[in-house]
Amino acid sequence: MLTAENIIFLLIAYLIGAFPSAVWLGRTFYNTDVREFGSGNAGATNTFRTLGPKAGIPVLLMDIIKGWIAVSLVCLITDYQLMSDERLFELKLVFGIAAVIGHLFPVYTGFRGGKGIATMLGFMVGIYWQAAVVSAIVFVLTFLSSKYVSLSSIIASVAFPFIVFLLPYQQIISHQNANSSLILFSIFVPIISLITHQKNIERLLRREENKAKFGKK
């Protein structure tokens, strides 16, 4: 059950996730709104394509850090040291999901956000870094072979539930209910990815999706 304090931190997690790093950096340093170019998404991939790696790398890092910070908010809860591991883990899940929703629908920029993959990666690092690392490796291998960022994100997301199932997470999260929550979350990851990449999937099926060709600004 969420307390009033937890609800406040839940809102803070959303606001952290909603920070429009791509829009902020583009407008501040390049006088450019990345949402008006490329795919129209306020995320790291479109920033890479529109403004180049000097802008894309900071945005990518900021989006990852947003997810990690949101999960880490549990350490600020008054009685967090007295909570069970199960309770702490479930709060991390709730705060992390709030951050991803914030990135997808940021209140600061008219609810026009990105696709949430980088923020979700930071979220995963905060709750289960081993699975996050394996998912990142899957992304890199797929990207090197295909050059499609969207396809790589989708495959890494779809692989995540299998990674969680195969890794010995029981040694990390001891309580059965927490294990169940982790499994449910792992299913949530590919669902969100497939929803946010719907247009990319359509372009991939039509063989119209662009391969990675990042800008040089």
Ranking 42-46, 116-120, 130-134, 168-172 by mean pLDDT, the lowest is 168-172
The DSSP call for residue 86 is H
Query: Which residues 6+ apart lie within 8 Å of 61 measured at CB?
Result: none
Predicted local distance difference test score (pLDDT) of residue 15: 98
Predicted local distance difference test score (pLDDT) of residue 168: 65
* Residue bearing the bigger pLDDT, 202 or 211: 202
- Does the pLDDT of residue 211 top 90, yes or no? no
Closest C-alpha among 53, 47, 1 to residue 22: 47
Predicted local distance difference test score (pLDDT) of residue 87: 83
Tell me how crowded residue 8 is: count the other CB atoms within 10 A of its CB.
13
Tell me how crowded residue 203 is: count the other CB atoms within 10 A of its CB.
16
Closest C-alpha among 160, 161, 182 to residue 171: 182
Place of tokens 């797929």: 142
Domain residue ranges of the chain, discontinuous segments joined by +? 4-205
Per residue in 136-189, pLDDT (tens digit) is 999 999 999 999 999 999 999 999 999 988 876 554 555 555 567 788 888 989
Ranking 18-22, 82-86, 138-142, 192-196 by mean pLDDT, the lowest is 82-86
Closest C-alpha among 60, 70, 57 to residue 17: 70
Predicted local distance difference test score (pLDDT) of residue 81: 84
* Rounded-to-integer distance, Cα 163 and Cα 132, Å: 9
DSSP annotation string for 17-77:
HH--HHHHHHHHHHS--GGGSTT---SHHHHHHHH-HHHHHHHHHHHHHHHHHHHHGGGGS
Per residue in 59-117, pLDDT (tens digit) is 999 999 999 999 999 999 988 888 877 788 889 999 999 999 999 999 999 999 999 99
- Does the pLDDT of residue 32 top 70, yes or no? yes
Query: Which residues 6+ apart lie within 8 Å of 213 measured at CB?
Result: 49
